Structure 1
């Protein structure tokens, strides 16, 4: 897909704007310790992020990527995890280098900007506010606001509709297989970053329309593509 000037740019959150794995891992490991279980550790948790809090807790309870049904103790563990994480949203999480610089440059150039995440709004909005990004965005869409979650295209399609923009005039910026799958299904262009929480070893394997080292590089990429 050719990257023409998009009418809307949609960013993923975890692994794209914010390295949230340290706080998610801390919260999950605190829960597991309370249950008398071994910790998952931050590196394992990085590979578990992207399918919402409920799935993260299921993975922590089973150490399986795609656990079937509800593990024993899940109903009690989920609200406890959410309480722990609510107290640790931004203790260790940080913006990736170039995020604020890139978003502000795009905003100054008149782009409409949104963030779409499977994370609950109770966590997403406070996190983005604390990191100074919320006020730079035109819309923040969270997992509890949609019936389907990424990689299903519904959040992307409904966000394009919200802005009155055709999907083929939208760009997704992400870091993982989920983001690429969602973008392709919705008809968005997709740009990926080499960091984040993908499962494949090499970002080239994501087969995005373009790779950039930092969101600060996105304005220049869009200018180059439009030339």
Structure 2
């Protein structure tokens, strides 16, 4: 079993899941590695080629060197430019879905959470269409239904760390922040959860990523899905689960 980094019994995976009525999951990381075989840097390069062809200079000079297409999209572009960059990114994300690598244990985890009677939703900076395509390809659409709250194509500046997708999810599902738990794999996930007043559990693929997840403030972190699968399975077997 891989270690769980938490400071009290109340912050253990079982306690956090037990206290939550709704689980808000980041997509790229806790559910899958979207860009495992289709690097995001290739999408960023295509976005730069579009800008170069049209003689458009990024508002931030560092953007011209960025390998992160989401960071590029989040810049304050004119509406027409933002729409084209959004189109390129959304197409790139959908193209990455067939080669995405499932996070080990993720399918088992979300199915167990669903069996425990808890709501599940995706809150992500990725395109909702790419998420939907992935979930269908893994027969998980019944687990999440229409509860996919992805990037707002008309206002990409509201990607995490802005709490917009979490707030939209809670409004649509009629749940309060204290009823929710977010699981994410990046500091921007932790920051968005804090801004939305939602409890946060960090997911790290390896021990080396634990410190990165606690940059904003100390948070419980699980390494791998093992502890989460055990906790969710226990909840799903409870008589009142």
Whether TM-score is above 0.5 comes out as yes
1:85-96 pair list within 5 angstroms: 85=92, 88-96=95-103
**Is the counterpart of residue 106 in structure 1 residue 78 in structure 2?**
no
Q: CA deviation at 1:11?
A: 0.2
Q: CA deviation at 1:115?
A: 0.4
**Is the counterpart of residue 5 in structure 1 residue 36 in structure 2?**
no
Counterparts of 2:135 and 2:183, CA distance in 1: 17
Cα distance 1:85–1:169, how it changes in 2: closer, same or farther (>3 A)? same
Conserved in 2, the CA contact under 8 Å of 1:146 and 1:155? no
Q: How many residues align?
A: 200
Other structure's SS at 2:41 match: helix
Structure 2's unaligned 5+ residue stretches are 1-9, 54-65, 236-241
- Out of 41, 61, 79, the position equivalent to 1:25 is 41
Cα distance 1:216–1:100, how it changes in 2: closer, same or farther (>3 A)? farther
Counterparts of 1:135 and 1:194, CA distance in 2: 26
Conserved in 2, the CA contact under 8 Å of 1:115 and 1:141? yes
Conserved in 2, the CA contact under 8 Å of 1:172 and 1:183? yes
- Out of 143, 150, 154, the position equivalent to 1:142 is 150
Q: CA deviation at 1:123?
A: 2.4
1:180-219 pair list within 5 angstroms: 180-195=190-205, 202-205=212-215, 207=217, 209-218=219-228
Conserved in 2, the CA contact under 8 Å of 1:103 and 1:215? no
Tell me the C-alpha RMSD between the 2 structures.
Answer: 3.7
TM-score, structure 1 as length reference? 0.69
Cα distance 1:145–1:137, how it changes in 2: closer, same or farther (>3 A)? farther
| Larger proportion of helix | 2
Counterparts of 1:187 and 1:79, CA distance in 2: 29
Q: CA deviation at 1:164?
A: 2.1
TM-score, structure 2 as length reference? 0.66
Cα distance 1:29–1:146, how it changes in 2: closer, same or farther (>3 A)? closer
Conserved in 2, the CA contact under 8 Å of 1:57 and 1:81? no
Conserved in 1, the CA contact under 8 Å of 2:21 and 2:180? yes
Q: CA deviation at 1:143?
A: 1.3
Q: CA deviation at 1:30?
A: 5.6
In structure 2, the partner of 1:153 is: 163
Alignment deviations for residues 15-72 of structure 1 (CA, whole Å, 9 cap, x no partner): 2212123423344446667979xxxxxxx74xx36xx4xx3468xxxxxxxx6x549x
Cα distance 1:99–1:146, how it changes in 2: closer, same or farther (>3 A)? farther
- Out of 182, 185, 202, the position equivalent to 1:172 is 182
Counterparts of 1:153 and 1:141, CA distance in 2: 11
